[in-house]
Chains A and B, each alone.
Chain A
């Protein structure tokens, strides 16, 4: 007989940076005593259907997961309208993101099923955010950077909203990190991935990078033309193996 499997998934609100009330999508497995948790950071197009599918994917695999809506303050409205408003405003300041990610970690740690371990995963701009969280958000045990652009950033790419290049935060990295990249990507380019790897090595950080031929940017997203089935399937396998090792496995 197949073991019982169920989950609950719903919108909620948490108090993010500065105590602001922000939306979040939460999914968690039912019928488990203990499980690790994941923060899921959306890509630039926003808090969309696909990022909620990813959140449920974690629950399916035995993790409690939360996807904070980083653009909440640009709402209310439908997520795509709100994402457009956030884009016009220049995106989310890094300090605000760090506050929202910290609140997401705190939320997950209040769950009675939390096994004491919390990881973070992000895509595209969210991959950059995952890298930042590994260095700046307290209590992160593992980070997954999927093709985060602008981890390597020159002075011309820095601003009041993003005053420090994530690469320069590397000495403060507090947890293992896995990176998933497509070799046809232009941001991050293979050369930028090399530069990031060099910095991680230099500071003795625990990391594993996986680079895929025949894939560009965002190749996990099943609803995009850049989806690459074979590479994405292998990438997810690598991600879950990494998380099982660093977050004490899935639900029990």
Chain B
């Protein structure tokens, strides 16, 4: 099925695409049909710069279990980077804060 599920997170950072490094301003996270991964559905993450055209994109496709592992790795890295206060400050996402902290621990 085509789900058209697509969540966007503003990003401050850079990505390396086919033409080298560029500034990115969004991570677009979808659950839909992948282009390359041998899966019917996948978590699709596009790190993009929406002001630079569609080719300014670093794309990854992974199965949901891998995506959970990625979430865990990000949270763990944040935690180990002494950013616990930031994690505890996810007050705007109370439903996510507890499981995120649990994952990080």
Contacts and interface: CB of A to CB of B under 8 A. Distances in A.
A99 interface: no
A225 B40 CA distance: 6
* Residue of B4, B34, B46, B59 most packed against chain A (CB within 10 A): B4
Interface of A: 43-46, 48, 74-78, 80-85, 87-88, 90-91, 124-125, 149, 185-188, 216-218, 224-226
B41 to A, nearest CB: 9
The B interface, classified by DSSP as helix, strand, loop or mixed, is loop
Contacts of B46: 84, 88
The A interface, classified by DSSP as helix, strand, loop or mixed, is loop
B72 interface: no
Interface string B10-39: 000000000000000010101011110011
B59 A84 contact: yes
6 contacts: A45-B32, A77-B53, A78-B54, A88-B6, A90-B6, A124-B1
Contacts of A217: 1, 40
Contacts of A87: 4, 6, 28, 30, 32, 44
A124 B32 CA distance: 11
A188 B59 CA distance: 28
Contacts of A45: 32-35
Contacts of A44: 2, 4, 32-33
B56 to A, nearest CB: 8
A84 to B, nearest CB: 5
Contact of A80 (B6, B50, B59): B59
Contacts of B30: 87
Contacts of A81: 54-55, 57, 59
